[in-house]
Amino acid sequence: MIIVAILILVLDQVTKYMALEFLVLHEPVSVISGFFNLTLVHNKGAAFGLFSGIENDLLRVGLLWTATIVALVFVGYIYKTEAKGDRRLEFALGLVIAGAIGNIIDRAFYGYVVDFFDFYLGTYHWPAFNIADSSICVGVALLILFGKPKSVKT
């Protein structure tokens, strides 16, 4: 779990550094015309811009930090009670932890999360995201797919 988390965290932070260095805020760089751009976005909310509409900075930041801490405590609980020795669950938890820490680092240093993957069809754009967001989504999906309480016998 730790190796997965470290690898994903390093990849996340390196790509965010590159996005900050080489992309201009809100100016798309086409990668696959009509489908995928690299577009630097400063996301002051949670995944997919959730909570970004909250104007009160103190309230928004408080909600984000609280949700992140609760999520990390929950992941720790799952690891301690359910996942120890189960490589699939450990891998999934490593993905979630890496993503959460990657976005925590952004919030702590910049006050926002660095997003830059911009997928779209026509005028519909999926909210911009990053490797940390992807890691969290894949990790949660794997937890749902592979997770089952030890108390359930099959």
Q: Which of 12, 106, 118, 133 is catalytic?
A: 133
The single residue of 12, 106, 115, 118 carrying the catalytic annotation is 115
Q: SS3 breakdown of the chain: % helix, strand, coil, rounded to 5?
A: 60, 15, 25
Q: How far is CA 103 from CA 9, 26, 89, in A?
A: 9, 19, 21
The residue count for the chain: 154
115 is known as an active-site residue: yes
**Strand order across the 124-125 sheet:** 29-32, 36-43, 113-121, 124-125
Is 133 noted as a catalytic residue in this protein? Answer: yes
Which active-site residues does the annotation give? Answer: 115, 133
